[in-house]
Amino acid sequence: MKISTKYCFIISLFFAFLLICCSKDKGNYNYQTVNQLHIVDQEGNRINQSIYNLMLDEEYTLSPKITGSIYPIKADQLDFYWIVGRDTMSRDKFWKIDASVLGVGGHFCKLLVIDNQTGLSYANAFFVSVRAGIHTGSIILTTNEQQESLLIMHASAIDASYIYRDSFGGVRLGKQPVDIEVIYQQGENATRSYQQVLMTTKEGDFPMFAVDLMTLKPTLMLPARGVVLSGELLHPSYYLQENDPQVSNDRFDGMLLINGKCYSLERGIISNDVYRTDPLNYDFGDHALAYNGRLKGYVLAGYDKRNQRIRVFHNWGRGGVFTDNFDNSISPQLTVGHSFIAARSFIVTDTRGENINWQFLTRKATQIHMINIDSDNIYVRSVEVIVSKSVPEMVDGIGFKFHDGYWYFAKGRTIYRFADTGLDVESYLTLPEDQSGDIAAWNFYKNTTSQLQKIGVATYDPVSPRTRKGSYYLYDTQSKRYELQDRNIIDKAVDIELCY
């Protein structure tokens, strides 16, 4: 259970309306010497104007600590009223909150404390939010040996239980899971309220399936048939939200790959192949796509495995249908025989204005190549191989992610990193040796100042005799310690999202 003193506008209005400082004096007192009450919860936080986040199956005891401004308070001189709406839930000093009784949703509450010695009353307005899903913590998408999908949630409280769900609203998740994406809303002081999670699978009745994290009820269900404008079945191998997508993107707009072709998702509608007139019949494979949401519809890039070359598509107007390419500016000999590792797009601001660039990582045998492409948003201006060298650690590396000038990836039980200006690899985090297998998936959480704060890592041991052959670790980069080291608690992880 997490406590926060930040709240949204509607809650602010409620508190402003409900807040009562004290009742009128019932006697003739000197207000300069009245023994005023100071009321906090058991953790020392003011109950007044606080938000208490609970899981649906959670019980939490709210235990006020009360002190006087002049002299100590005697327990028998106080009366307590714990109120939800118009109902008094308890008259004890402590309120044992049963979230299942309150039910899913937000609940405006009040603690009224009456000091019978002074005749003063103190109203403490607070908010209890009950969710079927987690408020903060880890969300993991896994697959078992039958390729069945399972969504697993673990709240940020260290002693929280894992929640396992293979269906929502009576609809089962599809098979061959691809990834998950979490939508959040940005609040005051850059806090985040996590709203929805989208699960993408290659197979199933609804391969793209989103649920509300408060109720765990479906919010978006894209069926396998009839949702792609050109008639293809929805069997996505890759889904990429627009850059910095979670903020103000409750429609999950983005791009996806189906059978190596690129499609646009907007407002729940999936387009035709965005470059169906390509003379080379491109194939971006399972995930070789890089684009920037700010220039969606103008330009995108990917590695075309059919033609063994980097491709950049463009058009001269917005609309998401690409009509031309920059093949003449990118040598087809540059990447012959290469396989795709990772790519990213980024905006560079210079005297020309804002321009989109790309960086590709490719591999030929053990030789790794870092290739930069510079564009002025109209033409590809230059293509440069920054460095080529043998990097054994990167062969069969997984989970390539970019952050603040560094690429990160995992291999074995270690997460490595290297700068975007070279291929000098260094170890960043190595899991303790506990015979739980190699890393299957990992991710990091960046706070609002883009500092890495937590790393979630899932391992998998295919020869383990246990029913669940996967383990989960949560590492805090500030304290440099593991908050979770849970063996054989999950199946094989495909993707992880950290919500804090």
Tens of pLDDT, residues 316-338: 665 668 999 999 999 999 999 99
Other CB atoms within 10 Å distance of the CB of residue 306: 12
Q: Is the separation of the CB atoms in 104 and 4 below 8 Å?
A: no
Is residue 189 pLDDT above 70, yes or no? no
In the block, which residue shows the tokens 């029913």? 467
Residue identified by tokens 């709406």 is: 85
Residues forming beta bridges with residue 495, ordered by sequence position: 141
pLDDT at 21: 41
**pLDDT over 70 for what percent of the chain?**
89
Over 70: is that where the pLDDT of 496 sits?
A: yes
Residue type, 142: T
Q: What pLDDT, in 10s, does the model give residues 205-222?
A: 999 999 999 999 999 999
Convert the pLDDT of each residue in 342-370 to its tens digit: 999 988 887 777 788 999 999 999 899 99
Query: Mean pLDDT across the stretch 258-280?
Result: 93
Q: Could you give the CA distance from residue 362 to residue 338 in angstroms, rounded to a whole number?
A: 6
Strands 438-446 and 367-375: unpaired
196 vs 459: CA distance, rounded Å: 26
- In percent, the amount of the chain with pLDDT more than 90 equals 75
pLDDT tens across 51-99, in order? 999 999 889 999 999 999 999 999 899 999 999 999 999 999 999 999 9
In this prediction, residue 6 carries a pLDDT of: 41
C-alpha angle 258-259-264 in degrees, rounded to nearest 5: 25
Structure tokens at 101: 């009784």
Position 456 pLDDT exceeds 90 = yes
Average pLDDT over the chain reads 89
User: Which pLDDT score is estimated for 12?
Assistant: 52
Contact indicator for 486, 158 with CB cutoff of 8 Å: no
Our measurement of the distance from residue 206's CA atom to the centroid of its chain's CA atoms, rounded to an integer in Å, reads 21
Q: Which domains does the chain have, with CATH numbers?
A: 2-131 (2.60.40.10), 166-272 (no CATH), 274-390 (no CATH)
C-alpha angle 11-196-149 in degrees, rounded to nearest 5: 150
Residue 446 has a pLDDT of: 77
Name the band, by pLDDT with cuts 50, 70 and 90, for residue 163. Answer: very high
For 93-126, how does the pLDDT look when each residue is reduced to its tens digit (9 = 90+)?
999 999 999 999 999 999 999 999 999 999 999 9
Q: Which residues pair with 186 in a beta bridge?
A: 192
* pLDDT tens column, 401-435: 999 999 999 999 999 999 999 999 999 999 999 99
Mean pLDDT across the stretch 448-453? 74
Q: Is the pTM of this model over 0.75?
A: yes
